[in-house]
Amino acid sequence: MIAAIIAIFVATTTLSDDNGEEISYPDFLERVTQGEIVKGTYNNNSGSIKATAVDGTEYKSNGPLPLPDTDTAVINDSVAEFRYETPSTNFFLSLLPLLLPIGLLILFFWWMQRRAQGQVGSIMSIGRSRAKTYSTERPGTTFEDVAGYDGVKQEITEIVDFLKMPERFAQIGARVPKGVLLVGPPGTGKTLIAKAVAGEAGVPFLSVTGSDFMEMFVGVGASRVRDLFESARKMGKAIIFIDEVDSIGRKRGAGLGGGHDEREQTLNQMLSEMDGFEGSEGIVMMAATNRPDILDPALLRPGRFDRQVVVPLPELQDRHDILKVHVKGKLTADDLDLNVVARGTPGMSGADLANLINEAALYAVREGDDEIAARHVEMARDRVLMGQKRESLALSNAEKEAIAYHEAGHAVCASVLPTADPLHKVTIIPSGMALGVTMQLPEEDRHIYRSDYILDRLVVMFGGRIAEELVFGIVSTGAADDLMRATALARSMVREWGMSNEIGPMAWGSQNQVFLGEDLVQTRDYSDETARVIDQETERILREQQDRCRRTLNDYRHGLDLVARALLEHETISGEEVDRLITVSRNGSQASSLAGDTAGSISSSGS
User: Poorest-confidence range of 42-56, 216-230, 398-412?
Assistant: 216-230
What architecture is the 397-508+524-589 domain classified under in CATH?
Up-down Bundle (1.20)
Across the range 419-440, mean pLDDT stands at 83
What's the mean pLDDT in 576-597? 68
pLDDT > 50? residue 599: no
- 312 and 185 Cβ atoms separated by less than 8 Å: yes
Sign of CA dihedral 192, 198, 204, 209: negative
- If residue 285 lies in a helix (H) or strand (E), which one and from where to where? strand 283-289
The stretch 220-241 carries a mean pLDDT of 76
CA dihedral over 237, 240, 241, 246, signed as positive or negative: negative
| Segment 498-535, tens digit of pLDDT | 888 888 888 886 554 444 444 444 556 778 888 899 99
Question: Residues 41-90: pLDDT tens digits?
Answer: 888 777 788 888 877 788 888 888 777 878 788 788 778 788 887 776 66
CA dihedral 173, 179, 185, 188 (to 10 degrees): 70
Residue among 243, 220, 230, 235 at smallest CA distance from 277: 230
Q: Which of 251-260, 382-391, 529-538, 546-555 has the lowest mean pLDDT?
A: 251-260
Distance between CA 276 and CA 119 in Å, rounded?
A: 33
CATH 3.30.720.210 fits 2-87, yes or no: yes
Q: Are 80 and 39 in contact (CB under 8 A)?
A: yes
pLDDT of residue 219: 61
- Omega of the bond leading into 26 within 30 degrees of 0 (cis): no
Question: What local confidence, expressed as pLDDT, does residue 259 receive?
Answer: 46
Q: What is the mean pLDDT of residues 330-339?
A: 84
Residue 131: pLDDT band with limits 50, 70, 90: low
pLDDT digits (tens, 9 = 90+) for 363-399: 888 888 888 888 888 888 878 777 777 766 777 888 8
Range of weakest confidence among 18-32, 119-133, 294-308, 326-340: 119-133
Name which residue leads in pLDDT, 253 or 272.
272
Query: Residue 106: what residue type?
Result: I
**Structural fold of domain 316-386:** Helicase, Ruva Protein; domain 3 (1.10.8)
Q: At what angle do helices 451-472 and 557-570 cross, to 10 degrees?
A: 80
pLDDT score at 124: 42
Percent with pLDDT over 90 in the chain: 12
Residue-level pLDDT at 253: 63
CATH architecture assignment, domain 132-310:
3-Layer(aba) Sandwich (3.40)
Beta bridge partners of 180: 286, 307
Given a cut of 60, whether residue 601 has pLDDT beyond it is no
Q: Which residue has the higher pLDDT, 536 or 102?
A: 536
Q: Which of 179-183, 459-463, 581-585 has the highest mean pLDDT?
A: 459-463
Q: What is the pLDDT of residue 1?
A: 73
**136 pLDDT more than 60:** no
Residue 97 has a CB neighbour count (10 Å cut-off) of 8
Mean pLDDT for 553-557 is 90
- Catalogue the active-site residues: 407
Q: Element (H or E) spanning 251, and its range?
A: none
Q: What is the pLDDT of residue 437?
A: 84
pLDDT at residue 239 is higher than 70 = yes
Average pLDDT value for residue range 129-157: 65
- What is the structure's pLDDT at 413? 92
pLDDT of residue 591: 45
Higher pLDDT, 555 or 299: 555
What CA–CA distances, in Å, run from 341 to 185, 204, 346? 21, 37, 9
Q: Average pLDDT over the chain, rounded to whole?
A: 77
d(CA 536, CA 314): 39
| Start-end of H helices in 34-130 | 69-78, 91-124
pLDDT at 550 over 50: yes
Q: What are the sequence ranges of the domains in the chain?
A: 2-87, 132-310, 316-386, 397-508+524-589
418 vs 114, more confident: 418
> How buried is residue 53: exposed, middle or buried, by Cβ count under 10 Å (0-12/13-18/19+)?
middle
Read off the DSSP letter of residue 280.
G
Most confident of 295-299, 348-352, 566-570: 566-570
CB proximity list for 65: less than 8 A, separation 6 or greater:
44, 46, 47
pLDDT at 274 over 80: no
Q: Is the pLDDT of residue 39 over 80?
A: yes
User: What is the reported pLDDT for 117?
Assistant: 57
Asked which of 98-102, 426-430, 434-438, 551-555 is least confident by mean pLDDT, the reply is: 98-102
pLDDT of 341 reads 84
Confidence of residue 537 (pLDDT cuts 50, 70, 90): very high
Q: What is the DSSP string of 396-427?
A: -HHHHHHHHHHHHHHHHHHHHSSSSPPEEEEE
Which are the contacts of 569, defined by CB distance < 8 A and separation ≥ 6? Answer: none
**Rounded to an integer, what distance in angstroms lies between the CA atom of residue 390 and that of residue 364?**
20
Report the percentage of the chain scoring pLDDT > 70.
80
pLDDT at residue 325 tops 80:
yes
| Model confidence band, residue 12 (pLDDT cutoffs 50, 70, 90) | low
Least trusted range by pLDDT, from 165-179, 215-229, 510-524:
510-524
pLDDT at 487 over 90: yes
